[in-house]
Chains A and B, each alone.
Chain A
Amino acid sequence: MNDTDLIAGELLRCNKCGYCQSVCPTYQISQDEAGVARGRLELLSEVQDGELEPLEALRGPFFDCLMCGACTQACFSAVRTDELMVRARQDFHRRHGQPFAQSFIFHRLLGYPERLTALMRLAGAGKRSGLTRLFRRLGLLGWINATLEGAEGLVETMPRRFLRDRLAEIGFIRRGVATGEELVLPRSITAPRGPRVAYFIGCGTNFQQPAAGEAALRLLAHAGCEVVALPNVCCGLPPYSYGDLEAARTLARQNLAILGRAQVDYLVTECGSCSRFLKQYGELLADDPAAVAEAEDLAVQTRDFTELLASLPLPPPVRPWPGVVTYHDPCHLGRGQGLRAEPRRLLTEAAGATLVELPEADWCCGGAGSYNITHPEMSLAILRRKVENIRGTGADTVVTACPSCLIQLSWGLREGETPIAVRHVAEVVAAAQGLPQSVDRDGGNVPLTAE
């Protein structure tokens, strides 16, 4: 994609009708025009036209955006404000510099799984040390969706073991030592033969929500898939969101090299943000002749977990999910990929759950990657409205399909007289289908801090 054309073209299509106010979560909280797409686009457009100096003060308007995409959906011209904010942030960093920690994480950590894993283990051990605060200052935990801050002190938790540590336990075996080694989860022998899929292990899933990943993996095998686990790196969405397109492209190329080797029908992940970003690889690498074709192929191959599972035959639930559930649409899954019916159908059919609709189900929860760290107050205000809606449904479990949302919702629902459980679609369906539950769900997580 040619950035200059993208920006100019998109900006021209905003006619300032202001309809974005009706859906923009940050505007709904602040009622300040600087916090809505129309205002952000005005500022960007003035910078583009040279009418406004690219001031440091633009950080607020440009970085306060959740990039939830709600404005684009409400906009008759469908102006892609989220994409424009990526460009605005890129430009901002070019002029005002990128924070060292960010640059370090994006360029020195995310592409190096062993370093990242080591650091995360350290973080787990941070219970004994002041490391957590250091990580916080580095903004590290944010990049992997690992931390949240309540109004009163820290409540971070970390799983004892990451998803990658547990692949063997889930049933993965090493295969094809001679031809190029693979970690494979064999398909269930009782299920009809399904596709062969590569499972993309997202950072949030691996380090924070392994139970969701485990359930997804067991379900895929249960539904007849042969699952291959590959040593993929971060999908690149975090650096992309912060306008570091270079880091995002580097990670994308790394993943292409790793994933391109696998002879599979689909690439699948149960992180709605990862799956959406993988589907955008073609666009991301459009200007790279060496990689674009491969990137487009990969994008076409990518399925969100809910999308793939809903297309596979599953037996009726052996233990229909008890109680009442409600469903929160992750921005990148619902709006981003149009996957709204699939997760709901999985809940009502494959899990046999009673589903009540959540008002404003597709309103951002405020998690938005690391937004809850960089903008705790705004994030919390947005979350409160979500929590009110959830409580209003009377459901005892809220289900979603994105690790970042899982973390954010758990934060919001932890307090209150009647605690409401937060689960990934995969966990609910897996339990109803009678699959073994992860040992790490409830009680598996340990608090990060000594307080």
Chain B
Amino acid sequence: MPKSACPASLPAPVLEDFRQALGSARLLCDPLSRRVYQYDAALDQQLPAAVALPESTDQVQALVQACVRHRVPFTPRGAGTSLSGGPIPTPGALLISLARLNRVLDIRPLDLCAVVQPGVVNLELQRQLAPLGLSYAPDPSSQLVSTIGGNLGHNAGGPHCLKYGVTAHHILEIEVITPQGERVRLGGRGAAAPGCNLLGLWVGSEGTLGLVTEITCHLTPLPEATLTALVAFDSLEAASSTVSAIIARGIIPAALEMMDRPLLEAVERGLQAGYPVDAEAVLLIDVDGPRAALAGQLAAIREICGQFGAREFRQAETESERTLLWRGRKGTAAALANLAPGKISTDISVPRQHLPEMLARISETAARQHLSIGNLLHAGDGNLHPQMIFDPRDADQLARVMAAQDEVIRAALSLGGAMTGEHGVGTEKRKFMPLMFGPAELALMRDLKVAFDPENLANPGKLLPDDIPPTAPAAPLPEGSFSRVADTLAVSDEPGRLKPYDYEALAKLLALAARENQPVCLRGAETVASRAAGPVLSSRGLHHIVAVETANLTVTAQAGVTLADLQTALAAQGHWWPVLPPGGDQATVGGVLAAGLGGPFGVRYGRLADLLTGVRLALTSGEVVRFGVSCVKNVAGYALERLVVGSRGTLAALLEATLRTVPLPPARATQLFRADTLAPLERLAQAALLGSVRPAALELLSPAAAVSLGLPDPDAPRGGLLLVAWHGAEPEIAAGQAALAAGSAWIEDVPLDPAQTPSLWARVADLSRPGDWPELLEILCPPSDTAGAFAAAQAAAASHGVEAVLSASPGLGSVRVGLPELTPDQRPLREVLRTVAATHGGWLRSLSADGASLTPLPEALRDLNHRLKTVFDPRGILPAGPETTHE
């Protein structure tokens, strides 16, 4: 029967309302115009009830409000290149195409960010950035058409994620239209707004938590040079073992891609890119960075390839050869259309050391299902795309493909991997969610969705399965009051502190507290946290390192493991977790994550949420749940692991965390600059941040802070000091240092005693430890405002006669102000600092009061935090979040 007897559009008054909302922009209602919006690049199809093509955020908001009024579900769509059914609407839904919101609103090199609308095409942004020497790191293969909004919705990856991270790592701030039609901003242009990491939750939520209308992307300076090599192997096994060996050796190429024979043939048929069609597998490797450092890196890689019997190692000689190789790689999946009309690009991740085994399992599946499966791998990330080609008109073949996909996903999960690494769950993989998540985990995700979108209007039918199996009834809790039972579940060697020694016990304590409405507070080493009401549930009993897997660049540790223990265990393997929190060695893994204070090295290594891939939590319901895996590439379901960062123990108890490790830098160096005014130091910091070698840390110090750190202190009063840390190979450090020295005419370069510098940085980090001051405040703002906020805060303190100790991280957008006890006359200083923060586009928070915001947050943002809190802690036994306690 012709489909033109297609489902009717929506009732006329509803459509009229949509038209009102859209103004001059288009609404497509006739069957024909809607038909071209029923598909994406995957298999599922569904005709939308209507299609809106808004051209402004106001129109989008008005549309969503109209949807809310009429209870019409809505689905966002970018370029329609999803490989999971993300933009396929549910029946009766309004499809909102964001393709016309395609303006790059602002590029701010000094903040290393670009503000864009969601319909901006990824490659178009790159084109605009390149002349400025900048790039937006995530580069999904579809980047020449896929949009930043779509990339964000699916937390897209790409070949260069190995070194630079996935989309989630490069989103600073978003503007969201909530499912209630409210407009709210999450995150921040530099440091994020106080409160829970809602931004981290939203990225990858596939439009199920509302529409994103503006995105602030983090930018990366382009590397000075890139070398590309093509390596051919006679077996898949040799190629994949080479990948593991390269990573294990501590070499992190910019990209480490792999393709096997069927795909090489497909690519060469569509485009003569120069791939050897008689090899069983090839690796495509990019190394980038300062020119001087690259040859050595590539030579080391070449040696490893040789050890595994590579038959050809070809370095691209020209830029056009390089471009062509990459064009072939990025077009591989598309090229498969030459071979058969149907294609499923499966998308699984496994811990890197399991790559050879996973490939073996895939060939077993191929044999069992009589299919030809080609493998396309972001091998360096452990992310595989087995490509199954078929003729969809052949029912038997289709069934075998589906069975094969099922087998492959189960195999990946059995190896500790993820069911989707970067394509998303969408409509097509919902059925696999119960394979990866238990009932309690799925229920929590559903509860979150319900809390944020009670009417289920925002892109329903995605991400979560329709049927969530019931949670197994929990073992009955012991009878009796909290304090009586608590003693049986935990050691209490200090009054008011309970130390459970296993996950179950901690979970039970929480459940018990919930039952008894007993407020409790979760604490680690208490290096930065204040005392809150109720007994302390301490993580100090959970002090085991679960698994050190540096070949996979991960470590799994219990929440109470101290950084001293963690770093020692990692150092034995030549790795570390690149954070340096206040409290240093004594801080616990859980405490660092909960406080969200990662220290100065975030400039080079990223935010804390970017250094975390998985968590195990005890919920106040008494359940133990796990989110995330030992893979960076994992976009299955909501990224609840990222919520932990900065949550300050207000949501759930962290039991263990899987963290990203990096190889210990072969060398480190610190430069100290001093100037009479702040301006030249600010310019120097900007130069360092925009240079092609990323500094590890940048700290601006007030003279008082310098004195407290015991830095060389000449008599003359100075404007301040700038400390710059470099990590990396010698040539890289030399390049970075040279670039700074070249631009520093008015600045004194102060020699440092090398023996002192490691402890120096620990002392710098400790400037953020609240215990050392009667009050420690922090201004959170965009990077380019940091020096200005620093100067303004310094001036304000001086004019109030307050001897404040200031330090600032221009790369991170943070200014810390350590205050002595204030006299009544001096009290107004706090109000002035709040104004300083606001003037510089930021917020003021009190590190002395568990990060509580002193800047009132917008109602809509507090509402979202409140909804989140209600899901995790309905009884309110844990302290209120930082966003709710402003003055």
Residues of chain A touching chain B, judged by Cβ–Cβ distance below 8 Å, are 12-19, 21-22, 31-34, 38-39, 42-43, 46, 50-53, 55, 57-58, 61, 75-78
* Contact across chains for B36 and A77 when beta carbons are under 8 A apart: no
Of the candidate stretches B153-161, B328-336, B554-562, B565-573, the one touching chain A is B328-336
Report chain B residues within 8 Å CB of A22: 121, 123, 144-145
- Smallest CB-CB separation from A53: which chain B residue? B4
Report chain A residues within 8 Å CB of B335: 76-77
Q: Which 3 A-B pairs have the closest CB atoms?
A: A39-B36, A15-B337, A31-B99
A51 to B6, CA, bound (A): 10
Can you sample 8 A-B contacts with CB below 8 Å? A15-B343, A17-B41, A18-B142, A19-B142, A19-B334, A53-B2, A57-B33, A76-B271
Assuming the contacts A19-B144, A19-B145, A22-B145, asked whether A52 and B334 have C-beta atoms less than 8 A apart, the reply is no
Report chain B residues within 8 Å CB of A39: 36
Q: Residue-by-residue, is B118-158 near A (CB-CB < 8 Å gives 1, otherwise 0)? A: 01010100000000000000000010110000000000000
* Contact across chains for B35 and A42 when beta carbons are under 8 A apart: yes
- Since A38-B36, A76-B338 are in contact, a sample of 8 more A-B pairs with Cβ atoms closer than 8 Å, ordered by chain A residue number, is A16-B39, A16-B41, A18-B81, A21-B79, A33-B37, A33-B80, A53-B2, A76-B331
- Partner of A13 from B28, B99, B119, B338 at Cβ < 8 Å: B338
A354 to B222, CA, bound (A): 32
A428 to B4, CA, bound (A): 55
* Contact across chains for A17 and B334 when beta carbons are under 8 A apart: yes
* Contact across chains for B32 and A55 when beta carbons are under 8 A apart: yes
A34 to B80, CA, bound (A): 12
Q: Chain A's nearest CB lies how many Å from the CB of B366?
A: 20
Assuming the contacts A13-B337, A13-B341, A15-B336, asked whether A52 and B4 have C-beta atoms less than 8 A apart, the reply is yes
A17 to B28, CA, bound (A): 23
Q: Residue-by-residue, is B31-54 near A (CB-CB < 8 Å gives 1, otherwise 0)? A: 011011101110000000000010
* Contact across chains for A77 and B35 when beta carbons are under 8 A apart: no
A43 to B81, CA, bound (A): 18
Residues of chain B touching chain A, judged by Cβ–Cβ distance below 8 Å, are 2-4, 26, 28, 30, 32-33, 35-37, 39-41, 53, 79-81, 97, 99-100, 102, 119, 121, 123, 142, 144-145, 270-271, 331, 333-338, 341-343
Q: Chain A's nearest CB lies how many Å from the CB of B852?
A: 45
* Contact across chains for B142 and A17 when beta carbons are under 8 A apart: yes
Report chain B residues within 8 Å CB of A15: 41, 334, 336-337, 341-343
* Contact across chains for A57 and B30 when beta carbons are under 8 A apart: yes
A258 to B456, CA, bound (A): 71
A338 to B123, CA, bound (A): 26
Assuming the contacts A18-B145, A76-B335, asked whether A52 and B2 have C-beta atoms less than 8 A apart, the reply is yes
* Contact across chains for B35 and A46 when beta carbons are under 8 A apart: yes
* Contact across chains for B338 and A21 when beta carbons are under 8 A apart: no
Report chain A residues within 8 Å CB of B99: 31-32
A76 to B119, CA, bound (A): 24
Report chain B residues within 8 Å CB of A31: 53, 97, 99-100, 102, 119
Assuming the contacts A13-B337, A13-B338, asked whether A18 and B79 have C-beta atoms less than 8 A apart, the reply is yes
Q: Chain B's nearest CB lies how many Å from the CB of A71?
A: 12
Report chain B residues within 8 Å CB of A57: 30, 32-33
- Partner of B81 from A13, A17, A76 at Cβ < 8 Å: A17
* Contact across chains for A77 and B32 when beta carbons are under 8 A apart: no
- Smallest CB-CB separation from B81: which chain A residue? A18
Report chain A residues within 8 Å CB of B142: 17-19
A43 to B102, CA, bound (A): 26
Report chain B residues within 8 Å CB of A17: 41, 81, 142, 145, 333-334, 337
Report chain B residues within 8 Å CB of A16: 39-41
- Smallest CB-CB separation from B121: which chain A residue? A22
- Partner of B334 from A51, A55, A76 at Cβ < 8 Å: A76
* Contact across chains for A34 and B33 when beta carbons are under 8 A apart: yes
A144 to B497, CA, bound (A): 90
Q: Chain B's nearest CB lies how many Å from the CB of A5?
A: 15
Report chain A residues within 8 Å CB of B3: 46, 51-52
A364 to B334, CA, bound (A): 24
Report chain A residues within 8 Å CB of B40: 16, 18
* Contact across chains for A76 and B270 when beta carbons are under 8 A apart: yes
Assuming the contacts A18-B41, A18-B79, A76-B270, asked whether A34 and B36 have C-beta atoms less than 8 A apart, the reply is yes
Q: Chain B's nearest CB lies how many Å from the CB of A298?
A: 30
Report chain B residues within 8 Å CB of A33: 36-37, 80, 97
A76 to B267, CA, bound (A): 8
Most buried by B among A13, A15, A31, A32: A15
* Contact across chains for A51 and B2 when beta carbons are under 8 A apart: yes
A76 to B331, CA, bound (A): 7
A21 to B97, CA, bound (A): 14
Q: Chain A's nearest CB lies how many Å from the CB of B612?
A: 33
Report chain B residues within 8 Å CB of A42: 35-36, 39
Q: Chain A's nearest CB lies how many Å from the CB of B277?
A: 16
Most buried by A among B28, B32, B99, B100: B32
Report chain B residues within 8 Å CB of A55: 4, 32
Report chain B residues within 8 Å CB of A14: 337
Report chain A residues within 8 Å CB of B144: 19, 22
- Smallest CB-CB separation from B328: which chain A residue? A76
Report chain A residues within 8 Å CB of B145: 17-19, 21-22
- Smallest CB-CB separation from B342: which chain A residue? A15
A12 to B391, CA, bound (A): 9
Q: Chain A's nearest CB lies how many Å from the CB of B766?
A: 51
A61 to B28, CA, bound (A): 14
A18 to B36, CA, bound (A): 12
A76 to B142, CA, bound (A): 13
* Contact across chains for A32 and B337 when beta carbons are under 8 A apart: no
* Contact across chains for B80 and A77 when beta carbons are under 8 A apart: no
- Smallest CB-CB separation from A9: which chain B residue? B341
- Smallest CB-CB separation from A11: which chain B residue? B341
Assuming the contacts A21-B79, A50-B2, A76-B270, asked whether A12 and B39 have C-beta atoms less than 8 A apart, the reply is no
* Contact across chains for A43 and B32 when beta carbons are under 8 A apart: yes
Report chain B residues within 8 Å CB of A51: 2-4
- Smallest CB-CB separation from B341: which chain A residue? A12
Q: Chain A's nearest CB lies how many Å from the CB of B652?
A: 40
Assuming the contacts A13-B338, A76-B270, asked whether A18 and B2 have C-beta atoms less than 8 A apart, the reply is no
Q: Chain B's nearest CB lies how many Å from the CB of A392?
A: 13
Report chain A residues within 8 Å CB of B81: 17-18
A52 to B32, CA, bound (A): 9
Report chain B residues within 8 Å CB of A53: 2, 4
A147 to B333, CA, bound (A): 44
Report chain B residues within 8 Å CB of A32: 26, 28, 53, 97, 99
A53 to B3, CA, bound (A): 8
Most buried by B among A33, A39, A77: A33
A22 to B343, CA, bound (A): 21
Report chain A residues within 8 Å CB of B336: 15
Q: Chain A's nearest CB lies how many Å from the CB of B89?
A: 14
- Smallest CB-CB separation from A58: which chain B residue? B32
A33 to B40, CA, bound (A): 11
A43 to B36, CA, bound (A): 7
A16 to B142, CA, bound (A): 12
Q: Chain A's nearest CB lies how many Å from the CB of B387?
A: 11
A15 to B389, CA, bound (A): 11
A43 to B343, CA, bound (A): 20
A32 to B26, CA, bound (A): 10
Report chain A residues within 8 Å CB of B53: 31-32
Report chain A residues within 8 Å CB of B334: 15, 17, 19, 75-77
* Contact across chains for A18 and B80 when beta carbons are under 8 A apart: yes
Most buried by B among A52, A55, A58: A52
Q: Chain B's nearest CB lies how many Å from the CB of A374?
A: 20
Q: Chain A's nearest CB lies how many Å from the CB of B271?
A: 7
Q: Chain A's nearest CB lies how many Å from the CB of B127?
A: 10
Q: Chain B's nearest CB lies how many Å from the CB of A27?
A: 9
Q: Chain A's nearest CB lies how many Å from the CB of B52?
A: 11
Report chain A residues within 8 Å CB of B33: 34, 57
A15 to B331, CA, bound (A): 12
- Smallest CB-CB separation from A20: which chain B residue? B145
